[in-house]
Structure formats: C-alpha cells, structure tokens
Amino acid sequence: MVTHTGGCHCGRIRFRVEAPARLEVADCNCSICSMSGYLHLIVPAERFTLVSGGDCLSTYTFNTGVAKHLFCATCGVKSFYVPRSHPEGISVNARCLDQGTVESLTVTPFDGREWERSRESLSAPHG
Ligand SMILES: [Zn+2]
C-alpha cells in the first residue's frame, strides 16, 4: 500500500487515498462514465481522505439516485464519487491521481450498461 494524492483540475479539491502502487482500475461503459472517460479505483471509505475542497463539491444524481456523482463546481472535474455498487466505499478517478506513486495501471473493461445483470458475477463500479 502507498499513499496516492490527487484532485481536480483547478486544485480546489485534493484528496489522499491508500491503495497499491500497481493499480487495477475499471473502465465503465455506462452512460455517464463513457462520456467522461472515468477510470474507477474502488477503495473502502476509510482509505480515502478528502484534504480540501469539500465546499466546492456539487452533486449530480440520475436514475436510481443512489450514486452521488460529485464534481468540482469550479472546473467540473469528477475526481471521486460514491458509487451505487459500493455505497460504503469511494470510487477515485485514476485519471486524477498525481504522477509519481502509480507504478502501473491495469485497465479492465466493465459493462456498466448491463450493471444490474453483471453485478452478480463481477465486483465493479458504477452508479
Ligand atoms: Zn476544480
């Protein structure tokens, strides 16, 4: 485990996350993730610390409303959020991690469009 840091584009939102140096992330093809190119790194909530920018977060919900899509009100970047599949955890956008601590990134496609069916066989992201 290493401590990765990251945040949004304008820098108002900053966070720390405990995760392996070799990351396995999920590339979801659902309606919102495919538009934004979001890469999911799912961690238990206790391994995630929001360092700054909590007051800059806006929330977008759709469909079931369970997933809280949090984005920076200033720059619009979604650097982390609470996924529907793991409401007790955090999905960090691997694209928003700082350089330097990530040794490798293994990207696995996830069929979020068929999430209700696929969740029986896969542990994966999305909301
Ligand atoms: Zn921002």
pLDDT in tens, 53-67: 999 999 999 888 888
Looking at the DSSP bridge assignments, the partners of residue 35 are: none
46 token code pair: 């206790």
pLDDT of residue 123 exceeding 60: no
Distance 24 CA to ligand 1 centre (A): 25
Distance 14 CA to ligand 1 centre (A): 9
pLDDT class for 120, splitting at 50, 70, 90?
very low
Q: Are 85 and 127 in contact (CB under 8 A)?
A: yes
Distance 76 CA to ligand 1 centre (A): 6
| Residues less than 5 Å from ion ligand 1, measured at CB | 8, 10, 12, 72, 74-75
pLDDT in tens, 59-103: 999 888 888 899 999 999 999 998 887 778 999 999 999 999 999
Mean of pLDDT over the chain: 89
How far CA 14 is from CA of 23, 62, 125, in Å, comes to 19, 25, 22
